[in-house]
Structure 1
Amino acid sequence: MSSVKTDIPSAILTGHGRIAGVIGWPVEHSRSPLLHNYWLRRYGIDGAYVPLPVQPGQFELAVRGLQAAGFKGANVTIPHKEAAYALVDELDHSAKRAGAVNTLIFEKNGRIRGVSTDGSGFVASMKAAGHAPQGKALLLGAGGAARSVAAALQDAGLHVAVTNRTEARSEALAQALPGLERVAWDEWESRLGAYDLLVNTTSLGMEGGPDPLFCPSLAQASSSLIVADIVYVPLLTPLLAQAQKQGLKTAGGLGMLLHQARLGFREWFGQDPQVDEQLEAFVRQSL
């Protein structure tokens, strides 16, 4: 059992408080309220972060209402990320590269700035774990998370390859991110020795996901391969368990979850929060 203390002081909230939230449908599964409200209490900030269930088709109406109500911004999750991308007045570099927006920042002039923090959160989590990405990376999956992570890795100077069961999706991703290598799904296990980093960006291996027992062969991996998984329920996926059994370095999805939240918190609440053992232990308790 961890000896790290997870106690935090009581919340502070007045009529002057800063408010933000997470928009999704459904949204009750999101760990973001837990995470942000922990930080708010830890730093003694007058504010709150709330879950905002918004049905498809009501996204713009909801966002305009949040602006009018004085919210500072919001995170965006499924199924509203495309709507968020189309709605914002300004896309930063990360959002343009990722083709998605997961963070809305309401500016004082009434404009909305859109940011994608998933890719940068992944890279930051890897660095924090002592696994700074370098060399060649192979990504499993070609969805929105894959694009965010691939773009961030490319920006960090890595050669990035992608493999996906549906070739049309990996082809579309390669067109969106020039320089991306494509690998056939039935070939990537045999070619694994050529890569320094393997990242599962799919929901394969997730509890309740399409294939919770997803555990491909890592027999061809070099001894220096780092295996990462963006899934954090369970914390130790079958893929990570197999990698550890082979003596490979691993990184779970919890770190990405924590690090991707920092930018939004800093913009909304004026404090650059820290990701440390105390925070990780607190969030782990909910998983």
Structure 2
Amino acid sequence: MTHVFGVIGNPISHSLSPLMHEAAYKKLELDARYVPFQVEEKNLETAVKGMKGLGIKGLNVTIPHKEAVIEFLDELDPSAAALGAVNTIFYDEKQNKLIGYNTDGEGFYRSLRPELRKPLEDSLILMIGAGGAARGVAITLAGKGAKQLTIANRTKSKAEELAADCGASARAMTLNEAQAKLTEFDIIINSTSIGMTPNIGQMPMSLETLSRDTLVCDLIYSPMKTRFLAEAEKKHVRTLNGMGMFVQQGAIAFEHWTGLDAPVEIMEEAILSRLKEV
């Protein structure tokens, strides 16, 4: 019997998730398919609840359904409950339950961990932006014990809200305040969409005073090297794009659904091959 997995969103034609999941199934010789489903908001409940009737084992969830999908699930993993958003659904047939997870923050942490030169518990982190992408990563890093997490946003009140949810180790700043303290941070993370098409020439802040020991990260993976990362490289510092986060969050979903270790390198190769074609 062929197992069916997929991703729901609107629009969905741009999704690269089918590429990496299908590559994983092929590598492990699994009888499975991964299908992109374009689902309008008015049909979201029907689509999600249809998982049980159709025997769909798992779905990824992308824009604009990550929050709205919650009310149609039977249970939330603590990660999804804390973030108020779901990007992975697992159909537990034994319990006849649809369980929601959020793998974004853990996916970023898995990609970050090999790049750390000192423990997270000793690291000062700057998060640029306070939107949905920032939330998953910030709450995860705070939960992993980051020494201090500074959230900088154009609207400081939004940064303050997210910092409050992250706990005592987090604080909020304006972008200008963070800019003035740039040399203090061990890790800088851009969680905004600044740098994506059509704004590929823009940066969320200047890196003029960047410290040589800083790791500069961008959650964007297309383009693979944003101007933000390119400017960081000119300062001879290490960089990390969003490719690892994208692949690792997919790998975690794969593991929830199949109970198998994900072939991460194969999944990454599939995405890299497509991006090189663009």
Structure 1 residue aligned with 2:258: 269
Cα drift, residue 142 of structure 1:
0.6
Paired AA for residue 100 in structure 2: G
CA deviation string 1:163-190 (max 9, x = no partner)? 1112232232123322221011222111
Cα drift, residue 84 of structure 1:
2.0
RMSD: 1.6
Contact 1:18 1:268 in 2 (8 A): no
Contact 1:21 1:52 in 2 (8 A): yes
Structure 2 residue aligned with 1:124: 110
Among candidates 103, 127, 131, match of residue 88 of structure 2: 103
Paired AA for residue 31 in structure 1: L
Structure 2 residue aligned with 1:229: 218
Query: After TM superposition, which residue ranges in structure 1, 4 or more long, deviate above 4 angstroms?
Result: 129-133
Aligned residue runs from structure 1 range 103-252, under 5 A: 103-108=88-93, 109-129=95-115, 134=120, 135-158=123-146, 159-179=148-168, 180-208=170-198, 211-215=199-203, 216-252=205-241
Contact 2:111 2:248 in 1 (8 A): yes
Q: Following the alignment from structure 1 to structure 2, what is the Cα–Cα distance between the partners of residues 275 and 167?
A: 37
Contact 1:24 1:54 in 2 (8 A): yes
Q: Following the alignment from structure 2 to structure 1, what is the Cα–Cα distance between the partners of residues 86 and 36?
A: 17
Contact 1:133 1:197 in 2 (8 A): no
Structure 1 residue aligned with 2:74: 89
Assess, with a 3 A threshold, how the Cα gap between structure 1 residues 274 and 131 changes in structure 2: closer, same or farther: farther
Contact 1:133 1:153 in 2 (8 A): no
Residue 253 (structure 2) pairs with residue 253 (structure 1): no
Structure 2 residue aligned with 1:8: none
Q: Following the alignment from structure 1 to structure 2, what is the Cα–Cα distance between the partners of residues 132 and 70?
A: 45
Paired AA for residue 63 in structure 2: I
> What stretches of structure 2 of length at least 5 have no aligned partner?
none
Aligned residues: 269
Assess, with a 3 A threshold, how the Cα gap between structure 1 residues 130 and 169 changes in structure 2: closer, same or farther: closer
> What stretches of structure 1 of length at least 5 have no aligned partner?
1-15
Cα drift, residue 197 of structure 1:
0.4
Q: Following the alignment from structure 1 to structure 2, what is the Cα–Cα distance between the partners of residues 31 and 48?
A: 14
> Relative to structure 2, which stretch is displaced further, 254-263 or 185-194?
185-194
> Relative to structure 2, which stretch is displaced further, 116-125 or 218-227?
218-227
Cα drift, residue 129 of structure 1:
4.5
Alignment identity in percent? 38
2:208 counterpart SS class = coil
Assess, with a 3 A threshold, how the Cα gap between structure 1 residues 120 and 162 changes in structure 2: closer, same or farther: same
Paired AA for residue 185 in structure 1: L
1:186 counterpart SS class = helix
Structure 1 residue aligned with 2:49: 64
Cα drift, residue 274 of structure 1:
2.5
1:187 counterpart SS class = helix
Q: Following the alignment from structure 2 to structure 1, what is the Cα–Cα distance between the partners of residues 184 and 97?
A: 46
Cα drift, residue 131 of structure 1:
5.7
Among candidates 32, 37, 50, match of residue 47 of structure 1: 32
Q: Following the alignment from structure 2 to structure 1, what is the Cα–Cα distance between the partners of residues 62 and 154?
A: 24
Length-normalised TM-score, structure 1: 0.89
